[in-house]
Homo-oligomer: A and B are copies of this chain.
Amino acid sequence: MMARTLGTQAIPPTPRNEANDPTSLVARFGADQPLHLDCGVALSPLTIAYQTYGALNADKSNAVLICHALTGDQHVANVNPVTGKNGWWETMIGPGKPIDTDRFFVICSNVLASCLGTTGPASLLVDGGAPYALDFPVVTVRDMVRAQAMLVDHLGIDTLFCVAGGSMGGMQVLQWAASYPERVFCAMPIATAAKHSAQNIAFHEVGRQAIMADPDWRGGRYLAEGVRPEKGLAVARMAAHITYLSEPALHRKFGRKLQDRAAPTFSFDADFEIESYLRYQGRSFVERFDANSYLYLTRAMDYFDLAADYDGKLAGAFRGARTRFCVVSFTSDWLFPTSDSRAVVHALNASGASVSFVEIETDKGHDAFLLDVPELFATTKGFIDSAARARGLVEAARG
């Protein structure tokens, strides 16, 4: 019967805080530089873990900030030192890639409240003390962007050439354009929305309830008590993972194929390939992610409603912006469907912004922004190159 439950292998109950990733750069902000959060708390101290690629030019006009998604990290274009896997957007970012590190200085930081180097609920409240757990303040997407702005200041950069990202990363892109319009020359929100839908809040709530239902969650204090809510977090990941794929992609990859056998077992073992795939997704996720961070980051996405800060009028968020926008959606993305992107585009048009909108035909679902989708690369390269010319950034000669 043991095979019927998840997470039976031993996983060390190590907090995934800043100590775990010696390869990332870190910016530390002390008591003199608190981060003022939407909830009213002044958070201090604050550590931001980040990676950079390429070189900043003399007038500091070639910086590109990449914003990662819910469970992403700063290792956008280098091998992740914890998982050993390639950077999560190596297809997009690197020498000669659509976002060309021979031309641009690319920055990616781990978001506030995550668990991969930046301060979050697994960080220690006091040196040598217990982790924050639920004493960590609830943060918003705007708070994440405020922290990124502190990092950009710290790097001595005034205006970012580009801010780009997908999903929760796209929410940060929109928030950057709204909060700091004069600091963003061009912006690329991909597979995202200006507000989280009721259905998406519902899926997040299921994931949170799965975590909190795990007795090893211990009211959030699991790290101090030497355990981890592995099973609950795995169930949360499994539910979320379904929403990242499209039904056609699932059908193409798995269909009703049985796992290593010719006939059903008439049991609750993983008969179907999709079952063992999901169980694997759940298991591998708990090895790299902190359950409380999952609660905080899903909550931040739920709270995201950019128009709410502008009397409910989304166009107000972009009023007077001179940022150039390229909005991208995918036909089979049902988590952030094209209608969400279209609402953003309408608001941008209403505010007089420069915007192009590309809906890419693919059956890969929401995850398409992370996958090998040539039309996404071509769209990105075209947009970036055109904006770079407008910005006066000369293309590097290639031999």
Residues of A within 8 A of B (CB): 1, 4-7, 38-39, 134, 137-138, 195-199, 201-203, 205-206, 208-210, 212-215, 219-220, 231-232, 234-235, 238-239, 242, 245, 247, 250-251, 253-256, 264, 266-268, 270-272, 274-275, 278-279, 282, 295, 299, 302-303, 305, 334, 337
Contacts and interface: CB of A to CB of B under 8 A. Distances in A.
B235 A201 contact: no
Contact of A274 (B202, B209, B274): B202
Contacts of A1: 134, 219-220
A209 B197 contact: no
A329 to B, nearest CB: 15
A223 B209 CA distance: 23
Q: Say whether chain A's binding surface is mostly helix, strand, loop, or mixed.
A: helix
B5 A274 contact: no
A251 B201 CA distance: 11
Contacts of A266: 38-39, 137-138
A255 B202 CA distance: 11
B199 A250 contact: yes
Most buried by B among A212, A253, A295: A212
Contacts of A299: 268
A238 B206 contact: yes
Most buried by B among A206, A250, A302: A206
A268 B282 contact: no
Most buried by B among A203, A205, A254, A299: A205
